[in-house]
Amino acid sequence: MSETFCDYLQKMNNPLYRVILAGEFQVGKSLMADKAFLQGKGLLRSGIGLPTTSVVTEVSYGETYALSVYYRGNNEPIVISEPSAADVVNYTTAKTEKERTELSEKIEKVVISVPDANLKKYAILDTPGIDDANESVMLNSTFPQIMSADAVILVIPPRSLDSIERKFLQGSLFDKSISRLMIMISYDPRHPMGKQVREELVENIQAELQMMGRGYIPVKICCYDDSVDEELNTPEKVRQAVDSFAEENVKQGRVLRVAGALLNELSSFENELRSRLELNGVGQGKIRELELKLEEAEQKLTSRRLAARAKVASKESEISIALKDRLQIAMESLKRSLMSRFEKCKKLGDVQDELVVVKNELEHSIKKLFEQESSTAKKQLEEVLSIVDAELRNAADELIRTLDFGYSINTGHLGKLNSKFLTAVDYLLAAVLSPYALLLDVLFRYVLGKLPLIRNLLPAVFVRNQVVKTIDESLQDISEKVVSDISSQFKQSFKRIENDINLHFKHLYQTTIMPILKAIEEARNTQLSEGEIDSLKSKLSTVCGIIAELRTACV
């Protein structure tokens, strides 16, 4: 058995549960961890704009409040007593993608110790967003922690599941035999929805889960305002829901995790058994002939992998250039439109009133622009996924035809790209906050903050001109930053696709070619007796029966 399978077995009776908070960035994961498990101390804060979190934060039991920073390759952590929010930010976030990558490679995790007896049973892990396009952050932080999770809480905003969340559920959880899941809708009463609307939202999500074959997954709305008529309307109630969910699901989740790992082991073993039976007594000539077929198959797999990557690279260039051009044109148009709004202003009061209008128009215009570009780019990225999907399916089919080995290789799940990547356009809506905040900061500090001093000293036209100049300079900076960030996110997205291509072709090789190579080695050294042949056939029958049962159980 593999090390992975043995590791799952060893963890079966671990008394400490690991509950992962997952979700896209800025949906309320950190808020939930802080409110429900850190007694609202404000140690975990949500960011604004593009994602910055690079390191997993674990909340677990300790005698006193402390922050432990675990560097990779060093078992002795750096410990900070009575940490502040700034301490947590310092070790978990970075601004640029390069700095985020370096931080994720340097620090494995940070642990906030809390003197709370309830946390003796389980640890809560707050992870970077599942829509993060930085491949290194995802591979170093989010995905390893999810793979070791006993249960997962997917936190979403008050809407139906989007494409990233659905792909995460299928590719990162269900396909990995992680089925113990609860969905928490993070509801902010400051942006009210009627109770009937909220109930319909829960029903819609439950219907989506039912269509995915996972109708048993609970869906709950949580908030932190007891004046709202909701089942989970206080931090304590949210915490209790997590407590009972973990108690009821962790043991079964661990069993299913072992079952999934065993399914992978036995599927490869089935291929090996079939190969040994087919190869028994065929002679060295036939064995050499098969080896040549395997070499040919490996070459074709490599060729297919390179072809898939080339198609993705071509599509990346096409989409990125087009999106960049459209954004630059749109931002220039937006700048001209906003600045023209001040031309009619003749009085200081008019300037001040127009600032309020511009603020609202700016938010609306950027959202509209990004929603439009989101729709266009998502369709293009779906085309990329279709290309890769087809390449994987064709590679599996061609591999079977090349080997022509008299038995069917189960490749159904190999034709599905496990797309654990961000469509960069999904950052666009969130990115509104970052430039919006920057612009308001410039405008209000420079203009409104000075208005009382200059009201009677300077003519309105001067103020108006300064406002227009400030908007021009601010939006120029914003435009450059937005275009740069989006281009960077797209590059990270396509890197993720390429990584998935490599992983899936590697898996295809390991589950088809490797077992046959092992069987060839056995055939060269051993001639099976009739009793051994009967024994292998009996094993094969047993293995196939267990695989059939496990597939049903894991679903």
Q: State residue 523's pLDDT score.
A: 83
* Closest to 110 in 3D by CA, of 136, 94, 90: 90
More confident residue, 526 or 88: 88
> What is the C-alpha to C-alpha distance for residues 499 and 421, in angstroms, rounded to an integer?
10
Q: Spell out the domains of the chain, with CATH numbers in brackets.
A: 3-263 (3.40.50.300), 281-527 (no CATH)
In this prediction, residue 262 carries a pLDDT of 87
The tens digit of pLDDT for each residue in 447-463 reads 433 434 333 334 455 55
Question: How far is 440 from 435, CA to CA, in rounded Å?
Answer: 9
The pLDDT of residue 217 is 92
Give me the pLDDT at residue 541, please: 92
Flag whether pLDDT at 268 surpasses 90. no
Q: Which residues pair with 79 in a beta bridge?
A: 68
Closest CA to 217 of 178, 262, 256: 178
What whole-number distance in Å separates Cα of residue 303 and Cα of residue 546?
35
- Distance (Å, rounded) from C-alpha 193 to C-alpha 18? 33
Closest of 82, 105, 83, 78 to residue 94, by C-alpha: 105
Strand partners, 159: none
Which of 107-111, 489-493, 551-555 is the least confident region? 489-493
pLDDT tier for residue 424 given thresholds of 50, 70 and 90: very low
In tens, the pLDDT along 345-390 reads 766 667 667 766 766 666 566 556 655 665 565 566 566 666 666 6
**What's the whole-model pTM score?**
0.60
168: CB partners within 8 A, 6+ apart:
22, 130, 154, 420
pLDDT in tens, 13-53: 888 888 999 998 888 898 899 999 888 888 886 655 556 78
pLDDT score, position 386: 63
Dihedral sign (CA 35, 36, 41, 47): negative
Question: What percent of the chain is modeled with pLDDT above 90?
Answer: 20
Provide the pLDDT for residue 461: 55
Q: What is the mean pLDDT of residues 158-182?
A: 85
Answer yes or no: are the C-beta atoms of 463 and 351 closer than 8 Å.
yes
**Tell me, what's the pLDDT at 397?**
66
Q: How far apart are CA 258 and CA 222, in angstroms?
A: 32
- The reported pLDDT for the residue numbered 83 is 93
User: For 497-518, what is the mean pLDDT?
Assistant: 78
From CA 330, how far away is CA 335, in angstroms rounded?
9
Give me the percent of the chain exceeding a pLDDT of 70. 69
What residues does 124 pair with on adjacent strands?
A: 19, 59
Better-scored residue on pLDDT, 272 or 493: 272
What pLDDT score was predicted for residue 431? 36
Tell me what pLDDT residue 9 has.
84
pLDDT score at 289: 84
